[in-house]
Structure 1
Amino acid sequence: MSGHERIGASRRELLIGALLVGGTLVVGGTPALAAVADEADFVAFGPFVRIAPDDSVTVIAKFSELGQGAQSGLAALVAEELDADWSKVSVENAAADVKLYARGGFGIQLTGGSGSITDSWDQLRKAGAAARAMFVSAAAAEWGVPAAEITVENGILSHAGSGKHSGFGRLVAAAAKVTPPAEPKLKPASAYKLIGTNRVTRLDARAKSTGTARFTQDVQSPGMLIAVVAHSPRFGGTVASFDDKAARKVAGVVDVVQIPSGVAVVASNTHAAIAGRDALVVQWNDDKAEKRSSGAIAEQYRAMAHGTEAVQWAPFDQRGDAAKAFDDPARTLDIDMTQPFLAHASMEPMNCVALVKEKGAKLTFGCQSQTMDQNVIAALLGCDPSDVEIETLPAGGSFGRRSVATADYQKEAVEVARRMKGRPVKLVWTREDDMGGGYYRPLTHHRARVAVDAAGYPSAWEHRIVTASLMRGTPFEMVIKDGVDSTGVEGVQGSPYLKATPVVDARAFHPETKVPVMWLRSVGATHTAMMMEHAIDQLAHRAKVDPVAYRRALYAKAKAESHLAVLDLAAQKAGWGKPIEKGWARGVAVHECFGSTVANIAEVSLVNGEPRVRRVVVAIDCGIAVAPDQVRAQMEGGIMYGLSYTLFGDVKIEDGIVQNRNFDGYRVLRLEEAPIVEVHILPSTRTPAGAGEPGTPVIGPAVANALLALTGKPTTALPLVKA
């Protein structure tokens, strides 16, 4: 036991464990618990907590670390109730096991929707509290004292009367034999010593700062090969024929194989694989490929929204009689907004290591959706999903891209590996592969007609949204109801502005598209926040009412207390209403998604015709902020991400081919362009809500609204800076 005297039974005997079912810890060892264990001596206190004889506490995270820092917050939930020494707490990725690690309400294991902390709030606190109770009971029995007299602090159990004390490690064997409480007592918020404090620092910071964190590109194994794939430049194109003679002459190239998605070049190293691919001659069959430009698609969507191209509209919010609500043109405002295809543009391109076995496979990569990936690979190999082992590594960003229902790049890795007869294969996508490979935030067009009353407030609101469905063909297809994909209309549906409007006629149409699309950080809010918040400022501008005051009136009418609270906090902290230098203006926006409401006030000017943002004041209501400093970091990161795509983001397609396939053509925010960001968290006692995504969609409309104040001209299309 490496410096620790063995106490009691062996590891195998101690693996009696505890399984958390429906939020309750139940004693009983299972093979699944053994599967998540390593070979060190420890006792498994359920599938989420391991405590070792050296007093270390390992929290098993069912949610992946994609750069958002959520795993440190998950560890804090356990550590708070366990009263563990935070310096001895670490996090480990869970095995891919849907029976143990399914996300509540989804039935599958995946990370997304800013739900890691929310989903784990009760589950992990109960796991920590139950483990604490087990240790207290074990100590009370050993010391012959009442359990109620034992305190736990920083991983030390103490009894003041007898002077006895012990760390967790010495009591591991005895605690493991204690039946955990069915409903462990949880602390009141007033007793928190870790949750809600800046003591909750990122547990992965040192490894990532020193380069010792293990990402997919770091994976090495005996006999491993590297593969790259030549894909059709057009979406929907297939291989007609190819000549690999020159490719096979490249030093290091091992094989060239055709797979369903293209032609793979397999080599002993990445350089040889890419050089071999460059030497390939491929003829593509584009009979069923996309050949339109993104501009042509945008024009078609606009025509649909304006009724000049007939579509079958699906209503998602209707109230009152809109037939005569827009009879007075003098009191009607027409608002249009086109928003382009967006790439996820994560710093780590797609990659995956695959080893195909006699039965099943092992995948090692930054996995975001274990169950979907297991199901796709199992169907491909004709095995059971449980035969597909996934070792989840941290990912260098995702923003939704690593959670695709088709498991596109994972499937490619397996397609190549199954042809390599037992040798592991690392599939590598270059930046150009990644940017041009599809699965973009869909191009979207909004059109609204808003009639106003004598005071200038909405009396009727007609809204049309044209956007491709994100959920069609995925395990989440159930969210499509009566022809409406809720992810395409969220933010319009349920908006406090529509709630405050007597007459509403809101409809959507989801056209089919050959350009692969999917969710991007904040999903529907990426486009709905921009439309709704800029529409409100245009209405306020037309009514000659201050935009903050205009929103306050609508929030009061809609009883949108959270919106009102963050608006007031941001306005106060930003000095809204106070004079600002000539050439500068403030813009405001407020939006709710994933349970959190965020307000932004941005200070903006025009420099050489381009918007320059110098300061952003943020107010967020996210319930209990488990890790306040991390919430601030997510707001800062979300603003930079959202500001990047608002200013520059635009996947340009010509003749069906993506033109901007790297950061030279797909511009992102540079360091010198980044604004100062001030974040204010609204105090709260409600269950934690999302923080990873809600900061992203609010900055765009705040900037557009500042530009409206500066120039008097509304924004009708993004990006704001045209290439």
Structure 2
Amino acid sequence: MKPATTATTATTATKASMLKPTRLSRRRFIFSGVAAAGALLVGWGALPPRQRVRASHPLPLTGGAVALNGWVAIGTDGSVSVAMPRSEMGQGVHTALPMLVAEELDVPLSAVRLLQAPLDSIYGNVAMLRDGLPFHPDEQGNLKAVAQWTVGKVARELGLQITGGSSSVKDAWGPMREAGATARALLVAAAAREWRVAPAECRTEAGFVLHASGKRLAYGALAARAALSEPGEVRLKQPREFKLIGTPAPRRDSAAKVNGSAGFGIDARPPGLLYAAVRMAPVLGAGVASVDAQAVKGMPGVSRVVDFSAALSPLGGARAGAAVVAASYWQAKQAALALPITWTEGPHGKLSSEQIFQEFAAKLDSESGYAYHQVGEVGAIAQGVGGVAKVLNAEYRAPYLAHAAMEPVNCTAQVKDGKVWLWAATQSPSLAVKAAAKVAGVAAADVVLEVTLLGGGFGRRLDVDMVAQAVAVAMQCGGAPVQLIWSREDDIGHDVYRPAALARFSAGLDAGGKVLVYDNHSASGSVSHQFFKRNLGLPPGGPDKTTAEGEFDMQYEFANQRIRHVIVDSPVPLGYWRSVGHSHNAFFKESFVDELAHAAGQDGVAFRRALLARHPRHLAVLDAAVARAGAAPAGRAHGVALHQSFGTIVAQVAEVSVEGREIRVHRVVCALDCGIAVNPNIIAQQAESAVVFGLSAALFGAVTIKDGKVEQSNFHDYPVLRMGQAPEVETIIIASAEPPEGMGEPATPPIAPAVANAVFKLTGQRLRSLPLTLA
């Protein structure tokens, strides 16, 4: 690991290209309708957005600490308690978010303690929902502004506490800094009143209010009076004034993870704990016909068998099956394996991956789909028409992927005296509480949730099927807490998977190699349609940005381009996976752009540079990566990819060698522009993590379906990158004064096409399917 640095066609043409283009009027109708509906709700749409500093529920304080707003409390000893509404799953939010408050409050980061935020609308993730709108990043105008305002306002009202979409720092940038600045202004006002001076004569430093006369008061001594003050002018610092933001502050969770004291979901140990192991239907869509509980009742430690299928059916997302409860997980697991269960056949007993891709192809042959972006005119692309001298067609595909987080899927639940207690490694506290309340038949206010550290999330723990199962089992255990754990086989065989996808490209080039027409038509299932239906009960419908993100929102300046997607209903459960649609669409797009460069007789970097004349930030990132990479050593090749996701621009140069059929990645240079770098150390760690995660998928990852079952079961047939296979990763962070953008996911999408493009240089083989496999 090197520290981060800062720098100021061989396929057949398809019918798709002949289909009538879909215009943007449909999208304009949709979002104009959204805005109008908001305005009609009894004046709701005319009201200002809900503030995000003052909470409706008090912070859970002890020891005489005083809350100055919904985010910040000050103890008599000067300690600062900060509400934490996001889940720590290795991405560093327990360090980065407190830095925002500490900067504005003028306290050392070491003085900050974290409190789990209660369920309150001010802690909802506004940025994640607002960024889900399917607008091109370059698009301007009232439609986009109104839609973003409306969805942002809805998000504030919903107040969903969710960690995902690389949105934690981006969403907190405003409210958490404002909370710190407001608390600081209250403390200054209290001190000024004590000294009978003007607040403008006071300044703050390291937890003290200071006056030019030499007077000073600690925050702890002022807190009680500050809570009764009015803040006066609240001013956020300018970037030039930052002392903490922008520094590589050490991670606050590192020591506990090293010494073993960190508490993950699977570490929960409430008194009287029992353990539950699950058996779930092996065939997609199947259910439980019968369970012979008596067959395992006499096994060591076994106390009961619970068929949780009926209790969970209203949620729509939980897996049908049964659990064995025992005194230890080993006892529960052995009994679960021995438990006789008869399964119903279900509707998908003959389903296969081949059938799924055949349906994708048929849909692309017959349906135009939804046009997410169109510039200029894109009709039938034919050689000799409109100056087209060469036509290039290509088809790409990507498989389903599992999450395979290191911490097994688990949840601990206790149902007693009309209340539910949860210990959960969840990315969705709001949805976890909702699911628990629904299963147990209690009010949400009667659910107490402790969010633990997550041993990896990657989007899997946005879903709450494990919470629903745990509560359903705990309801049958006489008030005892129950820790429900999935084995690795349960996890890989019953995941909510990254969608499989099929993409077709067609482009026309003139005699000089200029791309005149660019057409992209893809098909997959919809993650968002499934997620919102099973977790919020919302009916599916309309476009889903995640299906086409990474294709329609590119910045390459093709004069005539069209990007369309067809949603195909998926019998395979789909879920958010690190970088979602970008994870495969970047591979499709960046690989085909490399094909275009080769067809034009140009170097891939020069070809891209010529398409970025109006995108200087993208150009700077690309140039930084290429310059740092230098020349490839003998026997190796450099592959390049440039991609923007979650607001962050990333360019990667992969240094690759090929020995026989083995693809080896030795070095990756990763340049990025994520706006203001709150903590460069964490950004570099996220880039390295995302590269390794993406390489696992690029080289090995594939979930396949046969006879309605997932064929993979553990790391022997669903491998991940081993330590000895991991490349050296160098991260370059481009200096920026723009607000922070996402960082947890953006370095994952470019790695697969960067490697594939390097392999083409070495072998002449154009790899159009994931995982990358040489012939």
TM-score, normalising length from structure 1?
A: 0.90
Match of 2:81 in 1: 58
Q: Please tell me whether the aligned partners of residues 668 and 729 of structure 2 are also in contact (alpha carbons under 8 angstroms).
A: yes
User: Equivalents in 2 of 1:428, 1:300: separation in Å?
Assistant: 35
1:290–1:514 CA contact under 8 A, matched in 2: no
Give the distance between the partners of 2:390 and 2:540, measured in 1 at CA: 34
Amino acid at match of 2:490: D
Q: Are residues 25 and 279 of structure 1, via their aligned partners in 2, closer, same or farther at CA, if it must alter by over 3 Å? A: closer
User: Does the alignment pair 1:136 with 2:191?
Assistant: no
Tell me, in whole angstroms, the C-alpha distance in 1 between the residues paired with 2:71 and 2:439.
Answer: 31
Tell me, yes or no, if structure 1 residue 209 matches structure 2 residue 265. no
Match of 2:452 in 1: 393
Post-superposition offset of 1:375: 2.6
Q: Report what 1:194 is aligned to.
A: 244
- In the alignment, structure 1 segments of 5+ residues that lack a partner are 1-20
Q: In 2, are the aligned partners of 1:93 and 1:393 still within 8 Å (CA)?
A: no
For the residue of structure 2 that corresponds to 1:402, the secondary structure is helix
Give 1:563-574 correspondences, 5 Å limit. 563-574=618-629
Residues 242 and 282, structure 1, Cα contact 8 Å, conserved in 2: yes
Partners of 2:661 and 2:774 within 8 A in 1 = no
Distance 1:479 1:678, change over 3 A: farther
Distance change >3 Å, CA 382–CA 98, structure 1 → 2: farther
For residue 96 of structure 1, report the CA deviation from its aligned partner. 3.0
Q: CA deviation at 1:627?
A: 0.6
Asked if 1:318 corresponds to 2:374, the answer is yes
1:236 alignment partner in structure 2:
285
Q: 1:572 to 1:478 in 2, by over 3 A?
A: farther
- Could you tell me how far apart the structure 2 residues matched to 1:409 and 1:478 are? 17
Q: Deviations over 1:644-694 (max 9, x none)?
A: 100000113222222221111111111111111111111111110000010
Query: CA shift at 1:166, angstroms?
Result: 3.1
Give the structure 1 partner of residue 65 of structure 2: 42
Question: Which amino acid is the alignment partner of residue 381 of structure 1?
Answer: A
Residue 184 of structure 1 corresponds to which residue in structure 2?
234
Q: Offset at 1:132?
A: 1.1
**Residue 220 of structure 2 aligns with which residue?**
169
CA distance in 2, matches of 1:469, 1:263: 28
CA 1:367–1:346 in 2, change beyond 3 Å: closer, same or farther? Answer: same
For residues 614-633 of structure 1, what are the structure 2 equivalents within 5 Å? 614-633=666-685
How do residues 525-674 of structure 1 correspond to structure 2 at under 5 angstroms? 525-556=582-613, 559-575=614-630, 578=631, 580-674=632-726
CA 1:97–1:447 in structure 2 vs 1: closer, same or farther (change >3 Å)? Answer: same
Q: Residue 286 of structure 1: CA displacement? A: 1.6
Q: Distance in 1 between matches of 2:530 and 2:84?
A: 28
Of 463, 473, 481, the residue aligned with 1:424 is 481
Q: Does residue 305 of structure 2 align to residue 253 of structure 1?
A: no
1:219 paired residue number: 268
CA-CA distance at 1:471 after TM superposition: 1.2
Map of 1:110 onto structure 2? 162
User: How many angstroms apart in 2 are the aligned matches of 1:522 and 1:366?
Assistant: 20
SS in structure 1 of the partner of residue 445 of structure 2: helix
Aligned residue type for 1:391: E
CA contact (8 A) 2:289 2:343 kept: yes
Could you tell me which residue of structure 2 aligns to residue 11 of structure 1?
A: none
Task: Please give the alpha-carbon distance, in whole angstroms, between the structure 1 residues aligned to 2:744 and 2:53.
Answer: 29
Q: Does 1:516 align with 2:573?
A: yes
Structure 1 pair 133–569 and aligned structure 2 pair: CA distance change class (3 A)? same
CA contact (8 A) 1:156 1:166 kept: yes
Residues 531 and 574 in structure 2, CA contact (< 8 A), matched pair in contact too: no
| Change over 3 Å in CA distance of 1:354–1:98 after alignment to 2 | farther
Amino acid of the residue matched to residue 298 of structure 2?
A: K
Mapped to 2, the partners of 1:398 and 1:158 lie a distance apart of: 44
2:440 equivalent in structure 1: 381
| 1:290 Cα deviation from its structure 2 partner | 4.4
Distance 1:138 1:23, change over 3 A: same
Amino acid at match of 2:268: V
Alignment of 1:312-461 (within 5 A): 313-328=369-384, 331-404=390-463, 407-461=464-518
CA shift digits 1:618-660 (9 cap, x unpaired): 1111000101110111001000000110000011322222222
- Opposite residue 382 of structure 2, the aligned amino acid is F
Residue type at the aligned position of 1:433 = D
Q: Where in structure 2 are there 5+ consecutive unaligned residues?
A: 1-48, 128-151, 310-319
How many residue pairs were aligned?
684
Q: CA RMSD in A?
A: 2.3
Structure 2 letter corresponding to 1:209: V
Instruction: Provide, for residues 208-255 of structure 1, a one-character-per-residue CA deviation record: whole Å limited to 9, x for no partner.
Output: 111111111111112221111110111111111222333211111110
Residues 323 and 25 of structure 1: CA distance in aligned 2, closer, same or farther (over 3 Å): closer
> Which segment drifts farther, 115-124 or 39-48?
39-48
Q: CA deviation at 1:719?
A: 0.5
In structure 2, how many angstroms separate the alpha carbons of the residues matched to 1:327 and 1:147?
A: 74
Aligned to 1:120: 172
Deviation digits for residues 506-552 of structure 1 (CA, Å, limit 9, x no counterpart): 32212122211111111110111101101111111111111111001
- Which residue pairs with 1:158 in the alignment? 210
In the aligned structure 1, how far is the partner of 2:88 from the partner of 2:292? 41
Shift of 1:53: 1.3
Distance 2:515 2:92 in 1: 41
The 8 Å contact of residues 326 and 332 in structure 2, kept in 1 or not, is answered as: yes
Alpha-carbon distance in structure 2 between the residues aligned to 1:458 and 1:139: 66
One-letter code of the match for 1:292? L
Shift of 1:129: 0.9
Is the partner of 1:484 in helix, strand or coil?
A: coil
1:54: Cα distance to partner? Answer: 1.6
Please tell me whether residue 75 in structure 1 is matched to residue 98 in structure 2.
yes
Cα distance, 1:379 vs. partner? 2.9
SS of the aligned residue for 1:141 comes to helix
Q: Which amino acid is 2:501 matched to?
A: T
Structure with the larger RCO, 1 or 2 (CA within 8 Å, 6+ apart): 2
| Corresponding letter in the other structure for 1:316 | Y
Shift of 1:722: 7.7
Cα distance in 1 between the residues matched to 2:122 and 2:101: 21
Specify the SS of the correspondent of 2:422.
Answer: strand
